[in-house]
């Protein structure tokens, strides 16, 4: 996305209120993410409502994954789910809610699809391990230590399930989530 130039900013400032409103409404009609961002910023939609919508999208993606190879379909659904998390983050900029969505994705995977970790195709297994590592890093970097305690049991459970597979991983996962 290009940064607005000085001449562009000047042209926008010279527009009247009615013209600005027309341009804004036209832009919002064309871009659903922009609409959601404005709706959130203007208070029409709460953080919880946006988070719930994203959880619904993620739920549908992961639980309706089908195809000849379930593992490949799950890997594709996981990529789409992570794109939804990134979309949510761009709209709200809320770090805790982003971590909660990551944990929601991991929860669905570990409740329903751990059998797919043993598949010949390891992309779903490695993608899940990378997501788990990224979630741990996000928690440590962006959240207060009190939240570390809140998420420790879930993270430790997921780490145990991944590490008990004895399959090689391209990344190094910790044995447990350590609280600093």
Digit-coded pLDDT (tens) for 69-116: 899 999 999 999 999 999 999 999 999 999 999 999 999 999 999 989
- Mean pLDDT of all residues in the chain? 91
- Return the percentage of the chain with pLDDT > 90, whole number: 61
Tokens of 35: 């609409």
d(CA 173, CA 64): 29
pLDDT score of 1: 61
Tokens of 120: 């010949």
Q: Is the pLDDT of residue 2 over 80?
A: no
Q: Is the pLDDT of residue 63 over 70?
A: yes
The answer to whether residues 28 and 35 touch, using CB atoms and an 8 Å cutoff, is yes
Q: Is the pLDDT of residue 179 over 90?
A: no
Number of H helices, E strands in the chain: 8, 0
The answer to whether residues 135 and 99 touch, using CB atoms and an 8 Å cutoff, is yes
Q: How far is CA 50 from CA 101, 168, 174, in A?
A: 11, 37, 32
Give 134's contacts (C-beta < 8 A, 6+ positions apart). 102
**What are 22-55's pLDDT values in tens digits?**
888 888 889 889 899 989 999 999 999 999 999 9
Greater confidence, 16 or 131? 131
């Amino acid at each position: 996305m290009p940064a607005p130039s000085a001449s562009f900013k000047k042209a926008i400032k010279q527009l009247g209120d009615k013209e600005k409103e027309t341009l804004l409404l036209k832009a919002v009609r064309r871009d659903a993410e922009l609409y959601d961002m404005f709706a959130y910023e203007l208070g029409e939609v709460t953080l919880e409502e946006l988070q719930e919508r994203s959880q619904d999208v993620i739920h549908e993606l992961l639980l309706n994954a089908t195809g000849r190879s379930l593992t490949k379909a799950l890997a594709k659904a996981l990529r789409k789910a992570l794109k939804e998390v990134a979309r949510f983050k761009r709209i709200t900029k809320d770090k805790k809610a982003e971590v909660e969505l990551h944990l929601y994705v991991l929860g669905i995977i570990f409740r329903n699809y751990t059998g797919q970790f043993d598949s010949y195709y390891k992309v779903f297994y490695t993608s899940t391990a990378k997501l788990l590592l990224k979630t741990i890093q996000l928690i440590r970097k962006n959240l207060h230590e009190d939240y570390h305690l809140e998420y420790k049991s879930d993270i430790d459970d997921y780490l145990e399930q991944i590490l008990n597979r004895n399959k090689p991983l391209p990344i190094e996962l910790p044995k447990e989530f350590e609280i600093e």
